[in-house]
Amino acid sequence: MSITAAHPVRIVGAGLAGATVAHELRRAGRPVEVIEADADWGGQLRTAAAAGILYEPTGAHIFHTADEEVWRLVNALVPMRPYRHRVRTEVFGRIMSWPPQLPELRELPQWPAIERELAARPDAPGGDNLEAWCIELMGETLYREYIEGYTRKQWGCEPSELAAVWAPRRIELREDGRLDLFRDPHQGWPEGGYRRLVDGLLRGVPVTLGTPVTVADWDELCAGASAVVLTCALDEFFADALGPLAWRGVRFVHRWFPDAEHVLPAGVLNTPGLQHPHTRAIETKWMSGQSGPGTMVSYEYPNAPERHYPVDDVQGTNRDLHRKYEKLLAQLPGPPRVLAGRLATYTYIDMDQAMRQGINVARRLLSAVG
């Protein structure tokens, strides 16, 4: 890759990954321009307020990381409120911890059956699909109660149709008494909300809002640019030229409780049972640390048309299609082009990983300056 320092790097998308690329390039003194389809920047990192109480209209976001450099960058941009995220879940007719805790499970009347299933497990789960992997991890009783219904609602398919590649990062069975969802040493929530983080990343960066970009705009996008960074979904960018990628979207219904301090027992309450149409409820007031009367609870419903989550099917069909879109992008004329972020790379990543991708992309571009 060879780029020229005098010409700007153009970034499509002002979400967390694109904003991080822009921040790192600007900090290094390189010209950069960002183009965003929405009327505001930040992607899914939105924070709103009702009667002064903060909530997230696009769902819960908890910053957690073991990446020291990313954590330093975040704290340099916005004060991070210490917050260790805990999730509860409605199972077995009661409220219990997520991930499942063996000390709690031993108190259930179902424990003898659970114990027999746990004793029959392999040394390590090795199933290639999500259902097989989970049953080998926790046995069938716990899988049916904690995982099966939630997965069917969230992904709109049978769990056996999903690849297990991401499961080790998201699903576990604990006996160590650690009730925090994440084990990362650094965790927190930005004082005042996530908008302040993205504002900090884009401070001093020229951003054009409300301007969707597709392959039809490629020549104009590349004109005078030393490189192009795409953080948008490739199927959308190419107008589904090879067919649509499989995505799963969610929508939120927000309910205001004017007199309550808290409604939920924790920041997130999972509802895996099929008797509930929503998958979870979110109360941001736990994350923000605010107090006083009034709280907003956001109920998350699956099967929205948005491109929120890539779908890793067990056959790898969707990932193969994404690779074809990557090849199509590589065949376009013009300057070097790079992908970053969950949408563009079609990967299920956390916020710190999106920022890490942004840092790495910026360094790759900076090292290529001639």
Same domain, 268 and 233: no
Same domain, 185 and 202: no
Residue 92 within any structural domain of the chain? no
Predicted confidence (pLDDT) at residue 290 exceeds the cutoff of 50: yes
Range of the domain at 105: 98-170
Residue 10 within any structural domain of the chain? yes
pLDDT of residue 200: 97
Furthest-apart CA pair in the chain: how many Å? Answer: 70
Same domain, 29 and 119: no
Instruction: Check residue 148 and report its DSSP letter.
Output: I
Give the rounded percent of residues in the chain with a pLDDT score beyond 70. 98
Same domain, 188 and 258: yes
Same domain, 104 and 158: yes
Same domain, 60 and 120: no
What is the rounded distance in angstroms from the CA atom of residue 342 to the CA atom of residue 356?
Answer: 12
Contact between residue 88 and residue 269 where contact means Cβ atoms under 8 Å apart: yes
pLDDT tens string 98-148: 999 999 999 999 999 999 999 999 999 988 899 999 999 999 999 999 999
Residue 154 within any structural domain of the chain? yes
pLDDT of residue 354: 98
Same domain, 221 and 343: yes
Number of domains making up the chain = 3
What is the rounded distance in angstroms from the CA atom of residue 15 to the CA atom of residue 89?
Answer: 30
pLDDT tens string 27-41: 999 999 999 999 999
Residue 91 within any structural domain of the chain? no
Band (pLDDT 50/70/90 cuts) for residue 1 is: very low
pLDDT tens string 316-350: 999 999 999 999 999 999 999 999 999 999 999 99
* Average pLDDT for 16-24: 98
Contact between residue 259 and residue 304 where contact means Cβ atoms under 8 Å apart: no
User: CA torsion 134→139→141→145, rounded to 10°?
Assistant: -20
Given 289, 310, 331, the domain boundary residue is: 310
Which domain CATH number covers 361? 3.40.50.720
Residue 216 within any structural domain of the chain? yes
Residue 281 within any structural domain of the chain? yes
Please state the length of the chain: 370
Please provide the average confidence, as pLDDT, over all residues in the chain: 95
Same domain, 108 and 158: yes
Same domain, 241 and 317: yes
Of the chain, the end-to-end C-alpha distance in Å amounts to: 10
Same domain, 261 and 287: yes
pLDDT tens string 299-311: 999 999 999 999 9
Band (pLDDT 50/70/90 cuts) for residue 370 is: low
DSSP per-residue codes, 290-351: --SS-EEEEEEEEEEEEEEEE--BTT-HHHHHHHHHHHHHHTS-SS-EEE-SHHHHT----H
* Residue carrying structure tokens 């009667």: 51
pLDDT tens string 174-198: 999 899 999 999 999 999 999 999 9
Same domain, 287 and 333: no
Same domain, 324 and 298: no
Secondary structure class of 70 (helix, strand, coil): helix
